[in-house]
Structure formats: C-alpha cells, structure tokens
C-alpha cells in the first residue's frame, strides 16, 4: 500500500478507535461479552484482512505498516485488539502448507471473514512447543484426535480450531501436524474457562478431544510440518505485534496520565507542576519511544525477510517490561480514583498483564535472545 493510501487508512483507524470503539469498549466491559457482532463490525470496516496478500483477498499492507495500525487498535479494548491481531496473523501458518483446494476452502474464507479460526496450541500439561501431547491416529479416511487444549482465545465463537498435535508414537518436531477442527466435530467438547483478570470478553476455551473424528482432508501439509508452520510462520511476527500492543497500551496510559496531571489540583497547584510528576512523565514517554523504535526496527527486518527470532524476542521482552513500568507510574499519577472499576486506567492496568504471557513469558524471550548470541560465530 502506498504511503498516501496508508495515511488515509491510519486516519480512519484513529477516528474509529477514538469514536465508536470507545463506546463499544465500555459495552464489552459492562456485558462481559465480545461476540460475533464485534467481529462483524470490524470486518465491515475492512480491518480484519489488512495484512493478507491481495491474491487472497487481503489489502496487502506491509508488516511495518500493520504495526502502526495495531498500536492504534491497542488503545481501544484488549479483546478488540486480539480480534484484529488474530485475524491479521492467523493466515500466516496456512501459507506454506495448504494445497489449492484448502486455499479455497479455508484460507480465502478466513481472510474474507466468512470463517473464524483460532490458534490452538497450548495444553494444560505441556509447554507451547515440541512437547505437545495431543495425538492423532489414522482410521480409514479420518483422523482420530485425543488430548486437551486450553486458554484458546475466542473459543466461544470460533468456527474452526487450527489445532496442532502429533502422530501417535512421535516425539519432538517429528510427526507434528496442523489440522482444522470444525466446532461441531464428534468427540470434541468445548468448555468455557473462567473470566480472566483483564481483556473482558475474550472467551477462552478448554477443549477436550476424545476420539474426535476429522476428515483427513482437513490436514494442512504433511506430518512433521505442524510446529514448523506454527512457530516460524506465526510466532515471530506475532511476538512483534504483541510488543507493539504494549506500546499502544502504554501510549494510552501516558495520554490519560497527562490529562489527569493537568486536571488534578492539590494544595493549589496542578500535579503537572510538580517535579516528581514531571519526572514520571519524562520517564514514561522515553520508555515508550524506545520500545516503539525497537518494534518498528523488527517490523522493518520482517518486511525484508531478514528478521531473526532474537530480534522479535527483544521487542517482546523490552516492551512488556516497559508497559509494566508505564502503567505503574500512570496509576500513581491517578491516585486512588484510578483503582476503581469503570476507570479506563484501571482497565489498562489489568489488560496489560496478559502481555506477560502472550507469545511467551519474559523468561522465554531471554532464552531465545541468549541462545542467539551464545551460538554466534
């Protein structure tokens, strides 16, 4: 997308976030629901197919451009941001492994928004990687799947689960596969999990699969390609997107803190005139800008196909820690009133805690970064 068209898109998103989405965010908090009507609202404005190639029906914006868009959506509501994030990223694992028939049956409808699919990797008793325990075995023209998945975002509304499992008897990456599981699959039980601390309305699901029967034509690619598609196609861009989510949340927290500092008067003087508050604002703004530049640099490298996993992990690691520092200071500036439900800064404080876990903890990012440097040369 050329710069003129992108600036127009960015302006539209800015107005949408600071207009209709402010009211919608309050509704989600009040009702605890973020259903298909929210997906449809975002789809109708063309915000769910921004990154997919034009050949699939997407708008084909660059990853760097997308990061600027997700920063804006992150300033609305956590669940709205997750919808935009998932929709604009989940097509990536499909690209290297689907055949032409699956491209038409799954991928194009997914990009168009006719289907909702959710990434289904995490298990209760495994790490989100090569130790997955959910198994698949062949029976005639079907696969039988056994295992559990949990913390599956939007499991309450998904039409399909893009599920990662392994052939019985395999270990590590060998035998891992990606398979599309319809919501009404026999042998699949879907339980909704308790509400989370933040991101109200993101209906997380716990899946139980007991000889769940799925047609073999729903296998994407070949056995052995599952985790490669999941991790190399999706994980690094997603980590950068989550990092930029932290930047957007922190920017909103800073904006609200500045407003509060200018409005609140104590002992005859606005908070903004106090040196301690000025120090907080300066630290917050500098921290945000450093994280933003780290994310944008990683996005540029992703566009150039020159990104290494350590750079995505650096962006995620630094940005999460930055968000913690910024939201802590913002809440201090607000004082006690910011701790009450209904306060936007209270919601941002809660929503920001999910990013500690999304796409790997800080400790996971440190392992990736350290491994890169310790094995160089």
List active site positions: 359
Q: Give the strand pairing for 135-139 and 142-152.
A: antiparallel
């Amino acid at each position: 997308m050329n710069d003129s068209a992108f600036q127009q898109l960015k302006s539209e998103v800015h107005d949408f976030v600071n207009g209709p989405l402010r009211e919608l965010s309050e509704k989600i908090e009040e009702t605890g629901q973020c259903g298909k009507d929210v997906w449809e609202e975002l789809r109708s404005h063309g915000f769910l197919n921004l990154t997919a190639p034009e050949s699939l029906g997407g708008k084909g914006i660059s990853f760097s451009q997308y990061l600027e868009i997700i920063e804006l959506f992150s300033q609305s509501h956590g669940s709205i941001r997750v919808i935009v994030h998932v929709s604009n990223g989940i097509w990536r694992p499909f690209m290297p492994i689907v055949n032409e028939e699956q491209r038409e049956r799954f991928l194009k409808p997914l990009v168009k928004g006719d289907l909702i699919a959710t990434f289904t990797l995490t298990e209760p008793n495994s790490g989100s990687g090569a130790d997955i325990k959910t198994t698949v075995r062949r029976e005639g023209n079907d696969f039988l799947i056994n295992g559990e998945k949990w913390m599956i975002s939007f499991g309450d509304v998904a039409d399909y689960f893009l599920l990662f499992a392994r052939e019985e008897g395999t270990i590590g990456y060998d035998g891992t596969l990606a398979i599309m599981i319809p919501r009404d699959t026999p042998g699949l039980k879907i339980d909704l999990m308790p509400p989370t601390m933040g991101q109200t309305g993101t209906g997380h699901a716990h899946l139980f699969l007991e000889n769940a029967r799925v047609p073999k034509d729903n296998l994407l690619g070949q056995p052995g390609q599952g985790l490669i598609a999941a991790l190399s196609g999706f994980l690094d861009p997603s980590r950068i997107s989550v990092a930029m989510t932290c930047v957007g949340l922190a920017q909103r927290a800073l904006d609200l803190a500045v407003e509060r500092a200018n409005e609140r008067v104590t002992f005859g003087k606005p908070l903004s005139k106090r040196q301690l508050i000025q120090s907080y604002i300066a630290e917050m703004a500098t921290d945000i800008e450093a994280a933003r530049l780290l994310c944008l640099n990683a996005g540029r490298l992703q566009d150039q196909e020159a990104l290494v996993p350590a750079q995505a992990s650096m962006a995620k690691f630094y940005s999460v820690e930055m968000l913690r520092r910024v939201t802590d200071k913002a809440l201090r500036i607000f004082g006690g009133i910011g701790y009450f439900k209904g306060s936007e800064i209270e919601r941002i404080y809660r929503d920001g805690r999910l990013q500690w876990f999304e796409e790997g903890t800080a400790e996971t990012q440190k392992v990736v970064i350290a491994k890169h440097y310790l094995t160089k040369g």
